Amino acid sequence: MSDLLEIDNLTVQFRGDAGWITAVDDVSLNLREGETLGIVGESGSGKSVTALSILRLHTAATTRHPTGRITYAGKDMLALTPRQLRAVRGREIAMIFQDPMSSLNPVLTIADQISETLRLHQGLDAAASRQRAIELLELVRIPDARRRVDEYPHRLSGGMRQRVMIAIAIACRPRLLIADEPTTALDVTIQAQILDLLRELQSSLGMSVILISHDMGVIAEFAQRVVVMYAGRVVETAPVKDLFRKPVHPYTEGLLAAIPKLDVDVVRLPTIRGSIPDPAQHIQGCRYGPRCPVVLSQCLVEAPALLPAGPARFARCPPRVAAP
Amino acid sequence: MSTNAAAPIAGVRDLVKIFSIKSDKGGAPLQLHAVNQVGFDIAAGETLGLVGESGSGKSTIGRLLVGLIPPTRGHVELFGESITGKDGIKHLSNVRRRLQFVFQDPYGSLNPRMRVDDCIAEPLDIAGGISRKERADRIIELLEIVGLPRSCGDRYPHEFSGGQRQRIGIARALALRPEFIVCDEPVSALDVSMQAQIVNLLLDLQEKFGLSYLFIAHDLAVVRSIARRVAVMYAGSIVEQGLRGDIYRAPKHPYTQALLDAVPRPDPERQRKPTLGGEIPSILNPLPGCAFAMRCPLAIDRCRSERPMPREVGTSHLVACHLA
């Protein structure tokens, strides 16, 4: 399979109180057609910033134009004109966000909001787009779609709102769906329903999906391949089973160990010492060095490169990769 | 302090809380049945975990238990004294110093204009009767107990990360040497690597000071890592409570089973059972019968007409289900 999306050496900087803050530093990743890629990391890891860069959704006033390359289906995304970009957004690449309440317009009905994309990209008229909106609500399993389509977002539960967001996202049958923490605001039983729905839609519509999450459980259940980010950098990428069976990077290892266990009694959870670094803080060498339990003196001097670490795997930890 | 294991440090019986809210359509106020006939005890030195999805009533119980809001009906006892009966107010003020509360949001629960040392010492200042020297010594002691450097005292809350802020919140809660602390989602705003640190800190403090906790959380795995006994809530009722091992290894209530099954595990090879359908019912007009009946795969006619009351199914294992 060929790559649908390729990100090469992406760096994104925001204006901070004292100069530019690097939120994403030299990130490279690729996504194959039909693949589900998980991007996992804690706050400040740069996972959302990376995803937002694909559609260039950062506020222009506070963001430096990203460096590096983002190639989607042969298009150089960082070079598109605003007009060309609008043709891609919502039609070829769609996005859903964590908080369905603030992503929906509270003063428009569900029908209006789904129709917006359909009328813009597919040129449907009012009646046809309304009919299509009802079909889409049925597709995302909203009961009583014919009545619900005329309601306002506040009348719906969190889970139903996220279903509406998904309906809007798939309205134009995108080739790529970017889901940024789509279930984080939802209760666990509703989260399971939404993940089921996304999985079904992915296979019936043949979409590629990028799923961004802080939750290793969600990633394990949903992704085929995983990119682990820490403090603005990719620290490890691997097929999902390999990653969970045998993490290579000490950060991945520490993160997996620190997750509270549901299926066994643990007397004390292993922890990662220290705190997540402030993005404005400069760290010499490996960004994880100051917290790493197996840190070597060389790690604190030289910034490590992302190196091959087995079949389809990469890790940014020369000591681990060189001496497996 | 009572060391008698038979005498619970806190307990509630037949607790009911109904909130009256204004109807958006006018007319009679709506009755929100937040807590519906709940009972449990917490022994000295023990942690009871209270889990449930949003709107299940778990936070309301926390607030009722420390007398922040009065119940509609039912009894609350603290340190052997009723705070809901005759002279309840007097008893509450007698025991108030022995209780504390740790909140979810370490950002919202600290005054941004107060230095950390003043935040921590505020309970001491309100209680009064200590010298400046004692106050300063106690601040240093408290910072040390929660694992923060002394130098933190003259900084402001915004200079700290979420995990450190939660440590400040805990130091403040410990200032008056309480015996019982209600922790309402204390780690749910934190990243995984920070969660484990705070959970371990709470465990250490419990051992050191003989504290009892009511630990309220939506995350079942976090609760397993800290609680000795667990109560599972659904739509205002406790559907099941028992020792941690019984609840997680052999859950009896169909809701507990579905909830445990819905949690994504960090294991890509796990096969999840079919997802529980439906959503949490409205607590505005609770139906007769079991609140879970309309989502329950096992429900029979009796479940829809008669409310199941908690029954003992094993050693201190209570289940509110006709079929258990």
- Whether residue A44 contacts residue A279, with contact meaning beta carbons closer than 8 Å, is answered with yes
Which amino acid, one-letter code, is at A230? Y
- Closest-CA distance, B49 to chain A, in angstroms, reads 14
Burial class of residue B3, CB neighbours in 10 A (0-12, 13-18, 19+): exposed
What integer pLDDT is reported at residue B304 of this predicted model? 95
What integer pLDDT is reported at residue A165 of this predicted model? 94
What integer pLDDT is reported at residue A18 of this predicted model? 83
Q: A-contacting residues of B 9-48, CB under 8 Å?
A: none
pLDDT band at A1 (very low <50, low <70, confident <90, very high): low
Task: With CB atoms and an 8 Å threshold, state whether A195 touches B203.
Answer: no
Query: Which is it for the CA torsion A125, A128, A134, A139, positive or negative?
Result: negative
Task: With CB atoms and an 8 Å threshold, state whether B263 touches A271.
Answer: no
Lowest mean pLDDT among A5-9, A293-297, B93-97: B93-97
pLDDT band at A100 (very low <50, low <70, confident <90, very high): confident
Contacts of B196 in chain A (CB under 8 A): 258, 260, 269-272
Task: List the single best residue of A47, A230, A262 to mutate versus B (max B Cβ within 10 A).
Answer: A262
Residue of B161, B245, B276 lying closest to A275 (CB–CB)? B161
Report, as an integer, the average pLDDT of A33-61: 93
What integer pLDDT is reported at residue A323 of this predicted model? 56
Q: Is the pLDDT of residue A320 over 90?
A: yes
Report, as an integer, the average pLDDT of B150-164: 91
Please state, in angstroms and as integers, the Cα–Cα distance from residue B259 to each residue in A158, A191, B273, B277, B313, following that order: 18, 11, 11, 11, 20
Beta-carbon contacts of residue A30 (< 8 Å; ≥ 6 apart): A3, A5, A6, A7
Q: What percent of chain B has pLDDT over 90?
A: 82
Report, as an integer, the average pLDDT of B60-82: 95
Using CA atoms, how far apart are residues B319 and B316, in angstroms rounded to an integer? 10
Task: With CB atoms and an 8 Å threshold, state whether A187 touches B53.
Answer: yes
What integer pLDDT is reported at residue B4 of this predicted model? 45
What integer pLDDT is reported at residue B6 of this predicted model? 59
Max distance between CA atoms of chain B, in angstroms, equals 68
Q: A-contacting residues of B 244-263, CB under 8 Å?
A: 244-245, 248, 258-260, 262-263
Report, as an integer, the average pLDDT of B271-288: 86
Contacts of A259 in chain B (CB under 8 A): 192, 221, 266
Report, as an integer, the average pLDDT of B261-274: 92
Residue whose C-alpha is closest to residue A99's, from A32, A177, A22, A162: A162
Q: Is the pLDDT of residue B252 over 90?
A: yes
Residue of A nearest to B191 (CA): A42
ipTM of the complex in this document:
0.89
Q: Is the pLDDT of residue B107 over 80?
A: no
- Whether residue A237 contacts residue A30, with contact meaning beta carbons closer than 8 Å, is answered with no
Q: Is the pLDDT of residue A324 over 80?
A: no
Tell me whether B280 touches chain A (CB under 8 Å).
yes
Q: Is the pLDDT of residue A73 over 80?
A: yes
Max distance between CA atoms of chain A, in angstroms, equals 68
Tell me whether B131 touches chain A (CB under 8 Å).
no
What integer pLDDT is reported at residue B3 of this predicted model? 43
| Residues paired with residue A13 on neighbouring β-strands, in sequence order | A22
Report, as an integer, the average pLDDT of B211-233: 97
Residue of B nearest to A244 (CA): B267
What integer pLDDT is reported at residue B7 of this predicted model? 77
Q: How far apart are the first and last CA of chain A?
A: 30
Q: Is the pLDDT of residue A317 over 90?
A: yes
Using CA atoms, how far apart are residues B153 and B148, in angstroms rounded to an integer? 9
Scanning B66-104, the segments in alpha helix (DSSP H) are 88-95
pLDDT tens digit string along B4-40? 455 799 999 999 999 998 877 778 888 999 999 999 9
pTM here?
0.92
Scanning chain A, the segments in alpha helix (DSSP H) are 47-54, 82-88, 100-103, 110-122, 126-139, 145-148, 158-170, 188-205, 216-222, 240-245, 250-258, 318-322
Q: What percent of chain A has pLDDT over 70?
A: 99
- Token pair for B5: 């294991």
What integer pLDDT is reported at residue B25 of this predicted model? 75
Residue of B203, B222, B264 lying closest to A220 (CB–CB)? B264
Position with higher pLDDT, A58 vs B215: B215
Mean pLDDT of chain B: 93
Q: Is the pLDDT of residue B1 over 70?
A: no
Using CA atoms, how far apart are residues B79 and B60, in angstroms rounded to an integer? 20
Beta-carbon contacts of residue B100 (< 8 Å; ≥ 6 apart): B173, B174, B176, B178, B180, B181, B182
pLDDT band at B2 (very low <50, low <70, confident <90, very high): very low
Q: What percent of chain B has pLDDT over 70?
A: 98
Position with higher pLDDT, B74 vs A90: B74
- Residue position matching structure tokens 């007409």: B305
- Whether residue B47 contacts residue B318, with contact meaning beta carbons closer than 8 Å, is answered with no
Task: With CB atoms and an 8 Å threshold, state whether A241 touches B269.
Answer: yes
